[in-house]
């Protein structure tokens, strides 16, 4: 898998993606990341990549031309020339107006061979880039960032940890939040008692079947507390639904 990040601020990534699990996996070449400087695709001597918006209003817009040239240099075809929809690759445009990123999308992208991310800036990117190429316009949440770089880091992290061998113990990821439409169960470690607070005794029992059931119940309870919206689509058993309804008021 290769990530290519198109940006005006290449230094943004030099620390963030080189840390911890993702940084180590990149070192081990479990995937590759190339940072591409959009200004390299400008043609004038000032390396201009932005301009004022048509229709007025303040701010600047990233021009379509340098992006078009950049995607062409990366080997992508415009839609009119066949596009890239049938390749195991995707171009993502980071955008507050995009479709919401999710664990499901992270899983889908992690199965691809190549993911290109375009980081917008200022007012955003000239809309025609989306018309020219097969592009997924993706938002990481309902708020506005000053640039697409943090969004690209978030998405690379979420996607890369799903690539085989990146996580030491992939099985543990199956219990993560959003892997089964629920949130993850609370976790605890030693000491078994701290400041008068004890770890639930079910977790100390050593009985794995009991622990699994207990964790599932805790995950459902936490989901009901923090993200009740997720429960509508969660795959709950009849018994779990019954218990949930009985405890609705808690």
13 three-state secondary structure: helix
Q: In the block, which residue shows the tokens 């995607």?
A: 71
- Identify whether the C-beta of residue 116 lies closer than 8 Å to the C-beta of residue 6: yes
- In terms of DSSP H, where are the helices of 3-111? 12-16, 20-27, 64-73, 103-110
b/e burial code for range 197-216 (CB count within 10 A of at least 16 → b) = eebeeebeeeeeeebeebbb
Window contacting ligand SAH (CB under 6 A); options: 28-36, 94-102, 171-179, 231-239: 94-102
Using CA atoms, how far apart are residues 158 and 93, in angstroms rounded to an integer?
A: 16
Say which DSSP state 19 is in: S
Nearest to 130 by CA among 56, 78, 86, 72: 78
The nearest distance, CB 181 to ligand SAH, in angstroms, is 22
Interface with ligand SAH, residue 124, by CB under 6 A: yes
Q: Which is nearer to ligand SAH, 6 or 185 (CB)?
A: 6
Residue sitting closest to ligand SAH (CB): 120
Look at residue 33 and give its three-state secondary structure. strand
Q: Could you tell me the smallest distance in angstroms from the CB atom of residue 66 to ligand SAH?
A: 15
145 near ligand SAH, rule: CB under 6 A: yes
Residue 7 or residue 218: which is nearer to ligand SAH going by CB? 7
Q: Pairing state of beta strands 135-139 and 32-37?
A: unpaired
184 part of the interface to ligand SAH, by CB under 6 A: no
Q: What minimum distance in Å lies between the beta carbon of 212 and ligand SAH? A: 36
For residue 141, state whether it binds ligand SAH (rule: CB under 6 A).
Answer: yes
Indicate whether 123 belongs to the interface with ligand SAH (CB under 6 A): yes
Minimum gap (Å) between residue 59 Cβ and ligand SAH: 8
Rounded to an integer, what distance in angstroms lies between the CA atom of residue 11 and that of residue 104?
A: 29
Inter-residue contact 50 to 62 (CB < 8 Å): yes
Shortest reach from residue 31's CB to ligand SAH, in Å: 21
Q: Does 121 bind ligand SAH (CB under 6 A)?
A: yes
88 binds ligand SAH (CB under 6 A): no
Q: Which of 119, 162, 185, 203 binds ligand SAH (CB under 6 A)?
A: 119
Determine which residue in the list 125, 156, 203, 219 makes contact with ligand SAH, applying CB under 6 A. Answer: 125
Residues that bind ligand SAH (CB under 6 A): 94-97, 119-121, 123-125, 139-141, 143-145, 147-148, 151
């Amino acid at each position: 898998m290769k990530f290519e990040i198109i940006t005006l601020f290449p230094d943004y990534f030099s620390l963030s993606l080189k840390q911890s699990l993702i940084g180590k996996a990149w070192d081990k070449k479990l995937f590759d990341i190339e940072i591409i400087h959009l200004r390299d695709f400008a043609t004038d001597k000032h390396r201009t990549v932005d301009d004022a918006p048509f229709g007025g209003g303040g701010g600047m817009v990233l021009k379509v031309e340098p992006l078009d040239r950049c995607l062409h240099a990366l080997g992508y075809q415009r839609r009119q020339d066949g596009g890239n929809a049938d390749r195991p690759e995707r171009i993502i445009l980071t955008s507050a107006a995009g479709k919401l990123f999710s664990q499901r999308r992270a899983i889908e992208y992690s199965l691809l061979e190549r993911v290109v991310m375009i980081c917008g800036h200022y007012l955003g990117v000239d809309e025609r880039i989306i018309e020219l190429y097969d592009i997924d316009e993706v938002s990481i949440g309902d708020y506005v960032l000053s640039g697409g770089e943090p969004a690209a880091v978030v998405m690379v992290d979420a996607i890369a940890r799903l690539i085989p061998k990146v996580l030491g113990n992939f099985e543990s990821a199956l219990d993560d939040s959003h892997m089964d439409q629920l949130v993850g169960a609370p976790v605890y470690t030693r000491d078994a008692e701290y400041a008068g607070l004890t770890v639930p005794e079910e977790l100390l029992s050593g009985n794995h079947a009991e622990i699994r059931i207990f964790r599932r119940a805790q995950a459902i309870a936490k989901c009901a507390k923090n993200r009740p919206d997720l429960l509508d689509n969660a795959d709950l058993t009849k018994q779990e639904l019954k218990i949930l309804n009985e405890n609705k008021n808690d």
